């Protein structure tokens, strides 16, 4: 899965990049989350959501989809579960399924900026650039400090050849990454632009 997609973390709506090694995840997950219902233990919606979310982060996308689907069956209004399930679907290459999940999350929670960001990113992968810009712009409206949305929108504008908007989003993303003390993301932004542009464009950025 791309490092740009982001996940809703357990117990909060804080987003993190999915670029860390799979070995960073505690193993096995079943040591603290029930693996199945028993006579005395029934897996709750929260258990399925937690386990499914950890499986997304660990790269077990099929397992994540199974658990998050169970969470949604227990609570069809769980927008966070739809968001993370969308990431799992994106992880297995089911981009249209991912968009459907992100759309469900947005319908349930129109203020969920992360769902707009992720849907915009996946739309850019499907070359729906105008749809991507609309979603990323909405994510920024909901969360003006979201450097990743500026970063992703910058790349979409580059694809469309809108140099002025590339510059504007690049500068905004760079400033936010520095403000938020995210040197790795800042470096990725700068290096990405260097790889995309031609030598004659160097003076523009």
pLDDT values of the chain reduced to their tens digit, one per residue, 205 residues: 444 556 554 332 223 333 322 222 333 344 345 555 544 468 899 999 999 999 999 999 999 999 999 999 999 999 999 999 999 999 999 999 999 999 999 999 999 999 999 999 999 999 999 999 999 999 999 999 999 999 999 999 999 999 999 999 999 999 999 999 999 999 999 988 887 765 344 334 4
Please say which residue of 110, 135, 160 terminates a domain: 135
Q: Token pair of 114, please? A: 């992360």
pTM equals 0.79
* Residue 38 token pair: 């028993």
Give how many domains the chain has, as a whole number.
2
Domain that holds residue 47: 1-135
165 and 123 in one domain?
no
The string over 97-133, giving b where at least 16 C-beta atoms fall within 10 Å of a residue's C-beta and e elsewhere, is bbbbbbebbbebbeebbbbbbbbbbbbbbeebeebbb
Please answer whether residues 81 and 49 qualify as being in contact, where contact means their C-beta atoms are separated by less than 8 angstroms. Answer: yes
């Amino acid at each position: 899965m791309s490092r740009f997609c982001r996940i809703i973390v357990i117990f909060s709506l804080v987003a993190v990049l999915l670029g860390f090694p799979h070995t960073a995840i505690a193993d096995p997950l079943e040591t603290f989350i029930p693996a199945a219902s028993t006579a005395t233990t029934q897996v709750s919606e929260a258990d399925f959501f937690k386990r499914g979310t950890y499986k997304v982060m660990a790269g077990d996308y099929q397992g994540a989809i199974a658990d998050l689907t169970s969470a949604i069956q227990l609570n069809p209004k769980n927008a966070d579960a739809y968001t993370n399930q969308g990431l799992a679907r994106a992880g297995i290459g089911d981009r249209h399924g991912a968009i459907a999940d992100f759309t469900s999350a947005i319908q349930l929670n129109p203020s969920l900026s992360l769902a707009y960001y992720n849907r915009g990113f996946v739309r850019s992968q499907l070359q729906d650039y105008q749809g991507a810009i609309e979603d990323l712009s909405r994510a920024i409206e909901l969360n003006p400090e979201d450097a990743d949305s500026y970063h992703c929108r910058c790349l979409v504008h580059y694809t469309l050849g809108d140099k002025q908007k590339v510059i504007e989003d690049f500068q905004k993303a760079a400033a936010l990454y520095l403000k938020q003390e995210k040197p790795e993301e800042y470096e990725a932004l700068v290096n990405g632009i260097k790889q995309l542009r031609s030598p004659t464009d160097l003076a523009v950025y």
